[in-house]
């Protein structure tokens, strides 16, 4: 443990951020997994698009602290591509 007061405070803040970021990362993974499971289960297009919007919003919010902006953009792009292919397959 740190001896200096500012270092102690920094350690406490760092631990708080770590726990929060862990929860947010887990939330993103859960949203993505539920979207992919809905696609695999051949759910309605509206349901899949709703799940995509939720996942996209969570990923977009994570850009600043949790993941790099390019990583977030890549994940959203790949999910959008899968949703688009799924929607086209369901229509035809």
pLDDT at residue 91, as a whole number: 82
- Res. 25: pLDDT tops 90: yes
**Domain at 5-91, CATH class:** mainly alpha
pLDDT band of residue 6 (cuts 50, 70, 90) is very high
The angle at the Cα of 41, spanning 53 to 27, to the nearest 5 degrees, equals 40
- Res. 60: pLDDT tops 80: yes
Structure-token pair, residue 53: 């919007």
- CA-based torsion, 82, 76, 27, 66: positive or negative: positive
List C-alpha distances in Å: 72 to 21, 35, 84.
Answer: 15, 16, 18
User: What are the residue boundaries of the structural domains of the chain, listed by start?
Assistant: 5-91
26 exposure class (CB count in 10 Å sphere: 0-12, 13-18, 19+) = exposed
pLDDT at residue 64, as a whole number: 85
When the pLDDT of each residue in the chain is averaged and rounded to a whole number, the result is 94
- Res. 1: pLDDT tops 80: no
């Amino acid at each position: 443990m740190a001896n200096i007061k500012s270092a102690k405070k920094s350690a406490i803040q760092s631990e708080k951020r770590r726990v929060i970021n862990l929860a947010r990362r887990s939330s993103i993974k859960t949203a993505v997994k539920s979207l992919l499971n809905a696609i695999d289960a051949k759910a309605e297009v509206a349901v899949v698009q709703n799940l995509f919007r939720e996942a996209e919003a969570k990923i977009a919010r994570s850009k600043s602290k949790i993941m790099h902006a390019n990583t977030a953009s890549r994940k959203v792009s790949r999910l959008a591509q899968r949703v688009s292919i799924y929607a086209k397959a369901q229509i035809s």
